[in-house]
Each structure stands twice: as C-alpha cells, then as structure tokens.
C-alpha cells in the first residue's frame, strides 16, 4: 500500500518537472509564473507555438519573436467549464520586447483585462481578440503589419493601434464586431495608406464594421476593398482623412443601419467607388459626391428626404442607378425652396435606371 502511494507521488513529481520544461526551439506552454520567468530569461525567440495556459498576470519582457502562434484560450478539458466561466478575477498580459509573431495572435478567453504589447510590429497571420469580455485596454501602438484582424471586445475602453500600414496575408480581412465602450475608431483607419501589397487578392477581402458606441468614423485609407458598415448606435461617416487625397473602393461600399450622414472630407481630390449601396440607413440628406461610380443603389432609407447628384455626376460612365422604397424622399432637380440645382444627370450613356418614388414634375 505505502509502496503504491510513493509510486504515485513520484509520478506526479515527474509530470510536474516535464510540464515546466521550456524549450525555446519548439512549442512552449506557459502554465504559471515560473514558466513565464523561464521564458523571460531564456527565450528571445520561440521557434514554435506559444500556448498561454495561465490565468494570472504575467509578463514576457525579454521575448522578441514567436515564429508560431501565440494562443490563449480556456482549457475547458483540463480545468472544467466552471473554471472557464468564473469571471470574478481578471489578469494582464504584457511584453515590452515582443516585436514579431510569425503566426497568429489569438485570445479567446475573457478574463484578460489588459493586453500590452507596445513593441509588437508584425503579426503575420491573424489577430483575433474574440470573446475577450473583460478586455478593457489593448496596446498595439507599434503594430504596422498584420494578416487579418478580428475584434469582439464588449468592454474595450482603449485601443492603441494607429500605425497600421500593410496586410501581410493574401486574403486579408478586418472584422470589427464589437468595439465596446470606444467612442472613436479613427486611429485604426486614419493613415493614408494603401494597405495592400502587390500580391493581395482584392476580390474577396472585406471590412465589416459594426461599432457599438462609436459616434463618427473617418476613413483615411487610400484603397479599400468592399466595406460594410452597420452601426449599433448613430454614426456619422466621413470618407477621406486629413492626410488623404485619393480614395478608391474596389468593391461595394455598403452603408446600413444607424448611419446618419455620409460626408466627403475636403482634402479628398478623387473618390471612386465601384458599387455604392445605401440601404436601411438613417441618412436624411445624401450627397453622392463621387468622382466615379458604376452602380448606385439607394433603397429603404426611411429618413431620406433629399438626394443630390452633384455636377461631378455628369462624367460618371455607364451608370446603373436603382432608387426605391425611400418613403419620405421627394426627388427634385432643384433644392426645395431655392434655385440650387442638386441633380445632374450623367451626360454619357447609362447602363440602366430604375427609380421608384415620388418626384417633382421637373425631374424627368
Ligand atoms: C507544435 O505545435 C504545432 C501545432 O500547434 C504542431 O503542429 C507541431 O507538431 C508542434 N511541434 C512540436 C515539436 O511538438
Ligand atoms: C492590470 O493593469 C492595470 C493597468 O496597469 C492595473 O490597473 C490593474 O490593476 C492590473 N490588473 C491586474 C489583475 O494585474
Ligand atoms: C514566417 O512564415 C513564413 C511563411 O510560412 C516564412 O516564409 C518565413 O520564413 C517565416 N519567418 C520567420 C522569421 O520564420
Ligand atoms: C468579466 O466579464 C463577465 C462577462 O461580461 C462579467 O460578468 C464579469 O463581471 C467581468 N469580470 C470583471 C472582474 O470585470
Ligand atoms: C508576389 O508573388 C510572386 C510570385 O508568387 C513572388 O515572386 C513575389 O516575391 C511576391 N511579392 C511579394 C511582395 O510578396
Ligand atoms: C440603431 O441604434 C439604436 C440605438 O441608438 C439601437 O437600439 C438599434 O438596435 C440600432 N439598430 C441596429 C440595426 O443595430
Ligand atoms: C481617380 O482614381 C481612379 C481610381 O484609382 C483612377 O482610375 C482615376 O484616374 C483617378 N482620377 C483622377 C482625376 O486622378
Ligand atoms: C455597362 O454596365 C453594364 C451593367 O453593369 C455592363 O454589363 C456593361 O458591360 C457595361 N458596359 C461598358 C461599356 O462598360
Ligand atoms: C408620395 O406620394 C404619395 C402618394 O401620392 C403620398 O401619399 C406621399 O405623401 C408622397 N411622399 C412624399 C415624400 O411626398
């Protein structure tokens, strides 16, 4: 009997020794603060994946690169669901030296409160902050390159991420599902960059933006894929930032619920959109100040009262125009109560025109 016990004790001890063994040349799992210390002191580069199986505040100053993924998720299997659901205590993750992750950075577990990687410059694959319900502060102040970006952070108060330059994946996407308490998301989109490198596919990539408390959004990127904006509270959109002179949407710019205004920044000299689609929005006065557009659809916008085609519309080529189901729209060539002409038809051929709605007698 006593022999049996000592055998078990020995076995446990053996398991613990191997568990805390850290080999920087392979995959590394951090399970406690001892492991974190070992990584800090011994690993500049981790050649494999870094698994964060730790649920207390820890720091990785000293670590510079991870060639695989960095992943933090609740280990349901080993610890049980109760452990995963216990959100009573939160903790922080930080490294002031980590510069590069050649795989993905994925946080799937909600007790993380602060993520502080101020030196991180590149995450070659995916950044995914998902189900991180307790995440309030994210510092990625030096991040210039990533493959894709997914944000679902209901408690977010601060996001430092204003240096983005280029996508590193062939099929990039940006998915902003929940911006928490953030009132501005402008920094993310502010730089007048063309975020594509020569080999990105521009067919599939898209930006999905569903902010919660963001009141206004200024888009400064010069080249965009399709973008879908559906706000969960009232939002004003501005196309073009203070430093942006040229902007091009290669697919559909789709503007939906709760967007109350769409403005064009004064600095923008050239704005082209392939398909401009305003549907179910809260826009009341829509000015289609686009230098070039192929398809315009304006459907089901209950607040819309006035639609303008400025003089630049005269040079639109091969336009497809669809307007309908905007219950309060009265289409007119001149602005209500003045002589100002607000509707300029394209002078060249149009592909098709379908307009359902009320219009004044001068309209056709
Ligand atoms: C490291 O982990 C990855 C997946 O996470 C796995 O494919 C690979 O075989 C592991 N490498 C080693 C040396 O265990
Ligand atoms: C996390 O970091 C913040 C800001 O530095 C600090 O106020 C908070 O106490 C930290 N939380 C934990 C659990 O360490
Ligand atoms: C990062 O990953 C890419 C693609 O697998 C590879 O070509 C490149 O050599 C890796 N970089 C480093 C520093 O390991
Ligand atoms: C973490 O988030 C959960 C789910 O939203 C919440 O119930 C819990 O109170 C939060 N914990 C802390 C310490 O803020
Ligand atoms: C683009 O793809 C080509 C062919 O696959 C490759 O030779 C080139 O290095 C790539 N360029 C970049 C910037 O990734
Ligand atoms: C629009 O915003 C209001 C709050 O201002 C919200 O109740 C509603 O659900 C939002 N609509 C959509 C479709 O998200
Ligand atoms: C405006 O941008 C589009 C798309 O990039 C381009 O084709 C067009 O030549 C530009 N127009 C002017 C006047 O620069
Ligand atoms: C005009 O647009 C229609 C419908 O989108 C398309 O089928 C046609 O090829 C276009 N014509 C030219 C000359 O671009
Ligand atoms: C459009 O016409 C219908 C039917 O004549 C009318 O009931 C409605 O009030 C009109 N709407 C506007 C915005 O003038």
Which tokens in the block code for residue 179? 């911006």
Distance 96 CA to ligand 3 centre (A): 22
- How many CB atoms neighbour CB 332 within 10 A? 19
258 CB within 6 A, ligand 6: yes
**How many residues are given for the chain?**
364
| Residue 81 pLDDT class (50, 70, 90 cuts) | low
Residues in contact with ligand 4 (CB, 6 Å cut-off): 87, 90, 110, 133-134
Q: What spacing in Å lies between the alpha carbon of 133 and ligand 4's midpoint?
A: 7
Ligand 3 closest atom vs CA 67 = 14
* Atom 5 in ligand 3: residue holding the nearest Cα: 102
Query: Exposed/middle/buried for 6, CB within 10 Å: 0-12, 13-18, 19+?
Result: exposed
d(CA 43, CA 27): 12
Task: Kindly give, in sequence order, each residue whose CB lies less than 8 Å from that of residue 198, ignoring residues fewer than 6 positions away.
Answer: none
| Nearest alpha carbon, ligand 1 atom 4 | 49
- Least confident range of 168-177, 269-278, 324-333: 168-177
pLDDT at 74: 76
Please tell me if the CB atom of residue 194 comes closer than 6 angstroms to any atom of ligand 7.
no
**∠ Cα 107 113 118 (to 5°):** 75
Joined tokens for residue 336: 């209500």
3-class secondary structure, 243: coil
Supply the pLDDT for residue 2. Answer: 46
Residue 14 clears pLDDT 80, i.e. is over it: no
The pLDDT value recorded for residue 9 is 45
Task: Give distance in angstroms: CA of 358 to centre of ligand 9.
Answer: 6
Question: Distance (Å, rounded) from C-alpha 231 to C-alpha 211?
Answer: 5
CB contact at 8 A, 355 and 331: yes
| pLDDT score, position 187 | 94
- 């894929």: which residue's tokens? 225
> Residue 79 — very low, low, confident or very high, per pLDDT cuts 50/70/90?
low
Over residues 271-295, mean pLDDT? 98
Could you tell me the distance, in angstroms and rounded to a whole number, from the CA of residue 198 to the centre of ligand 5? 8
Is the separation of the CB atoms in 112 and 91 below 8 Å? Answer: yes
Q: Hey, which of 54, 58, 113, 158 would you mutate to test ligand 2's pocket, going by the most ligand atoms within 8 Å of its Cβ? A: 113
* 110's tokens: 């909600």
Q: How far is the CA of 199 from the centre of ligand 5 (A)?
A: 6
CB neighbour burial string for 293-324, b if at least 16 within 10 angstroms, e if fewer: bbbbbbbebeebebbbbeebbeebeebebebe
Q: Which of 10-14, 216-220, 336-340 has the lowest mean pLDDT?
A: 10-14
Q: Does the beta carbon of 248 lie inside 6 Å of ligand 7?
A: yes
325: alpha, beta or left? (left if phi > 0; alpha if psi -120 to 50): left
* Integer Cα distance of 238 and 297 in angstroms: 19
**pLDDT band at residue 336 using 50, 70 and 90 as cut-offs:** confident
| Ligand 5 centroid – CA 170 distance (Å) | 10
pLDDT of 11 higher than 90 = no
What are the CA-CA distances from residue 167 to residues 52, 123, 138, 139, 186 (Å)?
Answer: 26, 10, 20, 19, 18
pLDDT of residue 16: 41
Question: If you take atom 3 of ligand 5, which residue's CA is the nearest one?
Answer: 199
Among candidate residues 345, 325, 317, the one with its CA nearest the CA of residue 333:
345
Token reading at 153? 């952070």
Q: Is the CB of 48 under 6 A from ligand 1?
A: yes
CA of 194 to the centre of ligand 8 (A): 27
Decide if pLDDT at 199 tops 90.
no
Q: Is 351 in the pocket of ligand 8 (CB under 6 A)?
A: yes
> How far, in Å, from the CA of 193 to the mean position of ligand 8?
30
Tell which atom from ligand 5 comes closest to the C-alpha of 198: 13
Nearest CA to ligand 1 atom 14: 27
The CA 36 to ligand 3 mean position distance, Å, reads 25
Distance between CA atoms of 326 and 30, rounded to whole angstroms? 57
Nearest residue (CA) to ligand 8, atom 13: 318
Bridge partners, residue 236, by sequence: 216, 261
Q: Does ligand 6 come within 6 angstroms of the Cβ of 260? A: no
- Our measurement of the distance from residue 198's CA atom to the centroid of its chain's CA atoms, rounded to an integer in Å, reads 21
**Rounded distance between C-alpha atoms, residue 21 and residue 178, angstroms:** 38
Strands of 265-357, DSSP E: 270-279, 285-287, 292-299, 306-308, 319-324, 330-331, 350-355
Question: Contact at 8 Å (CB) between 345 and 314?
Answer: yes
């Amino acid at each position: 009997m006593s022999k049996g016990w000592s055998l078990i004790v020995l076995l446990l001890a053996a398991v613990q020794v191997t568990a805390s063994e850290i080999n920087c040349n392979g995959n590394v799992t951090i399970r406690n603060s001892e492991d974190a210390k070992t990584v800090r002191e011994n690993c500049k580069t981790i050649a494999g994946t870094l698994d964060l199986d730790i649920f207390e505040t820890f720091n990785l100053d000293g670590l510079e690169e991870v060639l695989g993924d960095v992943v933090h998720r609740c280990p349901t299997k080993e610890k049980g669901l109760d452990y995963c659901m216990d959100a009573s205590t939160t903790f922080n993750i930080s490294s002031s030296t980590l510069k590069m992750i050649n795989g993905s950075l994925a946080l799937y577990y909600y007790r993380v409160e602060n993520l502080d990687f101020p030196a991180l410059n590149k995450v070659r694959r995916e950044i995914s902050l998902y189900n991180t319900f307790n995440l309030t502060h994210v510092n990625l102040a030096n991040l210039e390159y990533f493959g894709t970006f997914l944000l679902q952070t209901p408690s977010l108060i601060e996001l430092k991420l204003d240096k983005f330059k280029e996508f590193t994946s062939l099929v990039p996407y940006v998915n902003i599902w929940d911006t928490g308490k953030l009132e501005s998301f402008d920094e993310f989109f502010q730089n007048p960059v063309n975020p594509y490198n020569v080999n990105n596919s521009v067919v599939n990539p898209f930006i999905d933006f569903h902010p919660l408390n963001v009141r206004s959004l200024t888009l400064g990127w010069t080249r965009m894929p399709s973008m879908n904006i559906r706000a969960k509270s009232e939002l004003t959109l501005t196309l073009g930032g203070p430093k942006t002179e040229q902007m091009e949407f290669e697919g559909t710019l789709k503007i939906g619920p709760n967007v109350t205004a769409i403005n064009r920044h004064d600095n923008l000299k050239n704005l082209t959109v392939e398909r401009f689609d305003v549907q179910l929005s809260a826009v009341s006065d829509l000015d289609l100040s686009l230098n070039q557009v192929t398809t315009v659809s304006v459907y089901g916008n209950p607040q819309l009262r006035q639609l303008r085609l400025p003089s630049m519309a005269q040079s639109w080529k091969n336009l497809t125009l669809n307007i309908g189901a905007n219950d309060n729209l009265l289409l007119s060539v001149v602005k209500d109560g003045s002589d100002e002409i607000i509707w300029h038809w394209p002078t060249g051929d149009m592909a098709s025109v379908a307009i359902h709605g009320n219009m004044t007698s001068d309209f056709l």
